[in-house]
A = this chain, B = another copy of it.
Amino acid sequence: MPRITDERRAARREQILEAARACLQEYGLEAVSMEMIIARSGLSTGAVYGYFKGKDQIINAVITDGTAAMAADLAPILTNPDPPPPSELIEQVLRAIVDFGRHKPGDIDRLLVSLHGWSHAQSDPQLRAATRAAYAGLRRRFDDLAKRWQAAGTLDTTIDSKAVAQLLTSITLGFVAQRALAGSADLTAHVSALKAIGPPPITARTASRHP
């Protein structure tokens, strides 16, 4: 018989996570303190501890939720039963990632939280497991996609679909990293480069085919 509705409870929880997210982005993994999170959340110390058992739980929730949210945004694209050809699909994926980063107005890039998660997951065993599961899941979805491409004749059937999945996973993760580290990464650049770079030089190939 909760005095507070589940809805309100969930809203408060999100309020705390939102504050934690902002602090994580602004101060970094090492420097976030409960004091900061509490102050920004607008709640009292005790209230925050009523929603989360401790700092670790908050940080992990921020990271886990972030990973889950990104996976949810990518899901419709990756599970498309009739996917567009690779370069077009990558365009959709990277665009979703850019959009994911900008999700909340007035916020800094949500992708930066992901990078903190990548670091934090190295040490916290529980988070490590969750992270590994999430990214292995992403790779599996790319694998399924590759198989659909092969079935549709869009992709060479001699290539291992798992190999394609790994490459696409790297491009996706690398795009995130590059935006954070180099300061920018252009999605159309990635798409056009992918079109150009892949194949062995065409002329040579054509020549060898029409000797």
What residues of chain A have their CB less than 8 Å away from a CB belonging to chain B?
Answer: 25-31, 85-87, 112, 115-116, 118-124, 131-132, 135-136, 138-139, 153-156, 158-160, 162-164, 166-178, 180-183, 185-186, 188-190, 192-206, 209
Which single member of B115, B122, B185, B194 contacts A122 (CB below 8 Å)? B115
A206 interface neighbour in B119, B120, B139, B206, Cβ under 8 Å: B206
A188 to chain B: closest residue by CB? B163
**Chain B nearest CB, measured from A167 CB (Å):** 4
Copies in the complex: 4
Please tell me if the beta carbons of B121 and A119 are within 8 angstroms of each other in the complex: no
In the complex, A124→B27 CA distance in Å? Answer: 8
- A203 contacts which of B86, B162, B196, B205 (Cβ < 8 Å)? B205
State how many angstroms separate the Cβ of A151 from the closest Cβ of chain B.
Answer: 14
Given contacts A159-B192, A192-B163, A199-B202, contact A175 B182 (CB under 8 A): no
How far apart are A73's CB and chain B's nearest CB, in angstroms? 18
**Closest chain B residue to A137, Cβ basis:** B182
Contact assessment for A174 and B170 in the assembled complex, using a CB-CB cutoff below 8 Å: yes
Q: Are A170 and B159 in contact (CB under 8 A)?
A: no
Could you tell me the distance between the alpha carbons of A119 and B165 in the complex, rounded to whole angstroms? 25
Which residue of chain B has the shortest Cβ distance to A31 in the bound complex?
A: B123
CA distance A172 to B185 in the complex (A): 14
Contact A201 B119 (CB under 8 A): no
A85 touching B200 by the CB < 8 A rule? yes
Q: Which residues of B contact A123 (CB under 8 A)?
A: 26-31
| Residues from chain B with Cβ under 8 Å of A162 in the complex | 189
- In the complex, which residue of chain B has the Cβ closest to the Cβ of A163? B189
Residues of B within 8 A of A116 (CB): 119, 122
CB distance from A169 to the nearest CB of B (A): 5
